[in-house]
Amino acid sequence: MEKFTRLTAIAAPLLRINVDTDAIIPSREMKKVSKTGLAEGLVAGWRYRAPGTRDEDPDFVLNQAPYRQARILLTGLNFGCGSSREHAVWALHEWGIRCIIAPSFGAIFHGNCVRNGILPVVLDAGRVEALAALVAKDPAKPLTVDLVECRITAPDGSTIDFAVAPADREMLLEGLDGIAVTLKRDAEITAFQAADRRRRPWIYLPGPPRAG
């Protein structure tokens, strides 16, 4: 998994509430079980004028310069709600999004973000709206999100601190999935098993053969 430490990038405002995973990647855009080939279908219902086409709507934010290069998304309450569709996170990541800032997230979507190298940052709605307003004044000025310091630096130089669960922060900073995080403690696990074998040897005896 790609590490996330510090990102300075264009931020795109998409201040819509209850954006569900079907809006993020409609089912018709999921043509295979893969982490690639999904970027074109990202928010297809909003990016294109008609379903199944690639006729871009010029009024949609991600079709406008400089937001086409955005790697940070500013959005509304309950982003990523709905199904557990991991394709939604895959599509965002492939398109280039590495950080999403919202007042709240769908729980499963939030976990999928962390496990795919996207940092989900929770800020209250007023602060997200204030950041979006600053971005709108000069869209080409970047936003900086620093996971080491847990701090956002706005285009005007002001800063906002944020909190991330320690386990999520560790996974993102080190680029580790859940298995890799566990394997960091392989020596401790092996030592525990060896001691437990000595203390409770009967637990490790082979059981009777099963019928059938």
Cβ atoms of 131 and 70 within 8 Å: the answer is no
**CB under 8 Å, gap of 24 or more: what pairs does 182-188 form?**
none
Q: Which residues are paired to 79 by β-bridges?
A: 105
Domain membership of residue 1 (yes or no) is no
Single pTM value for the model: 0.88
179 confidence band (pLDDT: 50, 70, 90): confident
Q: Is the pLDDT reported for residue 40 higher than 70?
A: yes
Domain membership of residue 86 (yes or no) is yes
Range of the domain at 138: 6-201
33-58: average pLDDT:
93
- Over residues 68-114, the pLDDT tens digits come to 999 999 999 999 999 889 999 999 999 999 999 999 999 999 999 99
Domain membership of residue 208 (yes or no) is no
Report the domain count for the chain: 1
CA dist 56 and 61 (Å) reads 11
CATH number at residue 137: 3.20.19.10
Q: Is the pLDDT reported for residue 178 higher than 90?
A: no
